[in-house]
Structure 1
Amino acid sequence: MLHWTQMKKDALELQLSPSRWSHRMPADSVTEAHVKVLKEGTERARASAQTFLNVPYGEGDGDKMDVYVPRTKSRDVHLVIYIHGGYWQLLSKEESGFVAVPLFDKGVVVVAVDYDIAPKGHMDLMVSQVRRSVVSVVRQYSHISGLYLCGHSAGAHLAAMVLSTDWSQYSITPQIKGAFLISGIYDLLPVLSTYINEPLKMTEEVAVRNSPCKLVPQLKLSSSSCHIVVAIAQNDSPLFREQSEQYYKMLEASGLKVAMEDVPNTDHFNIVELMIDAESHLTKVLLTMMGKS
């Protein structure tokens, strides 16, 4: 087990820098390639699906989402909300439509959610935004037969925070059937002393209340019927891998419906890039969860 509290700052920052663990290409290249793949996939989705762009889910400038609708007359509609990564300070919904490419052929609606990234946004705001986006989706698409979350990296953290929501503060309790948490971070305390926190400016108090690993009892109350998949890349850093494994074990120990997917021959980036392909492992797992395989 890694004891991050005993690590020097540079060693901890290495563990928290996914691009430095890819075996495919240098760190600078892998992040540039990642953005390119996601943008191209999103362009493919926009060319193939019926799209509704910049749909508001709240009053703020950043409270927007893109909706990718398959050409189907079926009333048995499954819907996936995708929450992007980027360490809470990069990317947007403009690169987040790629997951729709293999899904709209199966009649699945995909919603790509934006939120105010740092430094404009802070952690409490981002968590509030993604929670409100889910409420808005449920209100706008009341005929959906299955609601699913999918988040990558920081988006997996935000998706886990959605699962941990105390819905009594809202006027609706979304029935989330499944959640895909891909290469996420579930304890924010290691981030505090690193470069990642410079634009976020999180205090310890903020980090604790926004760490999914601290909120498992609330998740058990709010999402007990949700099927959760915790996925991790073979070539994620040891710290990322440990966070996923520990979060999975905490969920399992609480009696929740959870599975672990350790995806071979992948790194932090292509584990989600591969979901553009209908034949990729995680896409198949997601479609099987929906009964669409």
Structure 2
Amino acid sequence: MSNDCSAFDIDLSPSYWSKRFPRERICLEHVNFITKCSEEVKNSVPNQLNIPYGQGEREVIDIYGTDLPQDAPVFIHFHGGFWQEKLIRHNLNSFIAKVLRENQIKSIFVGYELCPNVTLDDLSRNIEKALKKCLEYVKQTRGIHLSGHSAGAQIVANLFKEFIPNLPEEERKLFKTAYLLAGIYDLMPLLKTSYNVPLKLDEQSAKRASPLWQKLIAEGTDFYVVVAEHDSPQFVEQGNKMNEYLLSLNLKSHLVTIKDVDHFDLLEKLFDSDYELTKLIVKSCSE
């Protein structure tokens, strides 16, 4: 989320394409909004916070809606930040829990260590530990719904490479939907950008971390690939390609383009019960 973008970075930098604020302000406005709303939710929705799943300070999960029945549907969310932005933490996405709790849906927000403290290969393995921890808490749920924003969408998609397909059948069947929100799915374009300085990717590791370069397996999961109209051209193009790729694998996928939003308020508006994406998520989680 750096504002010091080179010519190579601009096509991949969502802050350049927002219609709401200048690029120098958009990230700070976003962080201020999600911080304020998440603090409100933390104080109003029953929760259990900072449950560790690993050794890292960020390797924790927060559960919201802890007062709901054990069989309530569960929404598990992974935050964005290009795997490196320190300002974005899992607890700043917990504002999403407000509307979900109102509709009898539990939610879990997953933190993770950032690059360069870990590699993307390390991060992927750590995320698998996080999901195992989540499964311990939601064994009696009637359905799990995964969600990831930006880099979090890459994290969610890659769970269908090996981890979820190799789970016991009774656990595999719990994964009903996956919401890929304004995601990046091919990391090869990052190699020539400043974003790669902490990532330290080469061609081989970039392909290994890219859902668009992997065989994904999902027996009963519906994918929703969500694109923001005013996102960067690269993010929009990758969203379209990801939907096409999932369909080519004979998986269930739906491309959803949200008009008049950018990379950031695509997510922020999930605080609003009347937002079309909020309604879609509530409806599919409740079915």
Contact 1:70 1:107 in 2 (8 A): no
The CA distance in 2 between the partners of 1:53 and 1:190, in whole Å, is: 36
Query: Any unmatched runs of 5+ in structure 2?
Result: none
Hey, what does 2:131 align to over in structure 1? 134
The CA distance in 2 between the partners of 1:167 and 1:145, in whole Å, is: 17
Match of 1:276 among 271, 276, 283: 271
Hey, what does 2:185 align to over in structure 1? 186
Match of 1:164 among 150, 161, 166: 161
Hey, what does 2:207 align to over in structure 1? 208
Task: Tell me how far 1:24 sits from its aligned partner.
Answer: 0.7
Hey, what does 1:24 align to over in structure 2? 20
Q: Aligned with 1:65: secondary structure?
A: strand
Hey, what does 1:66 align to over in structure 2? 62
Contact 2:147 2:179 in 1 (8 A): yes
Task: Tell me how far 1:10 sits from its aligned partner.
Answer: 4.2
Hey, what does 2:220 align to over in structure 1? 225
**Where do 1:42-53 residues align within 5 Å?**
42-53=38-49
The CA distance in 2 between the partners of 1:285 and 1:168, in whole Å, is: 26
Q: Aligned with 1:260: secondary structure?
A: strand
Hey, what does 1:265 align to over in structure 2? 260
Task: Tell me how far 1:168 sits from its aligned partner.
Answer: 6.9
Which digits, 9 at most, give the CA deviation of each residue in 1:93-112, with x for residues without a partner? Answer: 13121110110111111111
Task: Tell me how far 1:75 sits from its aligned partner.
Answer: 4.1
Task: Tell me how far 1:161 sits from its aligned partner.
Answer: 1.1
Match of 1:93 among 90, 96, 103: 90
Match of 1:37 among 12, 33, 36: 33
Contact 1:71 1:107 in 2 (8 A): no
Residue identity matched to 1:34? H
Are the structure 2 counterparts of residues 169 and 60 from structure 1 closer, same or farther at C-alpha, using a change threshold of 3 Å? farther
The CA distance in 2 between the partners of 1:245 and 1:254, in whole Å, is: 15
Match of 1:143 among 119, 140, 144: 140
Q: Aligned with 2:256: secondary structure?
A: strand
Q: Figure out how many residues of one structure are paired with residues of the other and give that number.
A: 279
Task: Tell me how far 1:284 sits from its aligned partner.
Answer: 0.6
Which digits, 9 at most, give the CA deviation of each residue in 1:158-195, with x for residues without a partner? Answer: 11111223457667854311111010000000001110
Query: Any unmatched runs of 5+ in structure 1?
Result: 1-8
Residue identity matched to 2:202? T
Hey, what does 1:6 align to over in structure 2? none
Hey, what does 2:115 align to over in structure 1? 118
Hey, what does 2:251 align to over in structure 1? 256
Which digits, 9 at most, give the CA deviation of each residue in 1:244-273, with x for residues without a partner? Answer: 101100111221111011000000100010
Task: Tell me how far 1:133 sits from its aligned partner.
Answer: 1.2
Q: Aligned with 1:96: secondary structure?
A: helix
The CA distance in 2 between the partners of 1:227 and 1:34, in whole Å, is: 29
Contact 2:154 2:184 in 1 (8 A): yes
Task: Tell me how far 1:140 sits from its aligned partner.
Answer: 2.3
Q: Aligned with 2:81: secondary structure?
A: coil
Task: Tell me how far 1:15 sits from its aligned partner.
Answer: 0.5
Q: Aligned with 1:12: secondary structure?
A: coil
Residue identity matched to 1:36? N
Which digits, 9 at most, give the CA deviation of each residue in 1:4-38, with x for residues without a partner? Answer: xxxxx944311011000001110121100111111
Hey, what does 2:8 align to over in structure 1? 12
Contact 2:128 2:159 in 1 (8 A): yes
Hey, what does 1:103 align to over in structure 2? 100
The CA distance in 1 between the partners of 2:249 and 2:164, in whole Å, is: 19
Aligned Cα RMSD in Å? Answer: 1.8
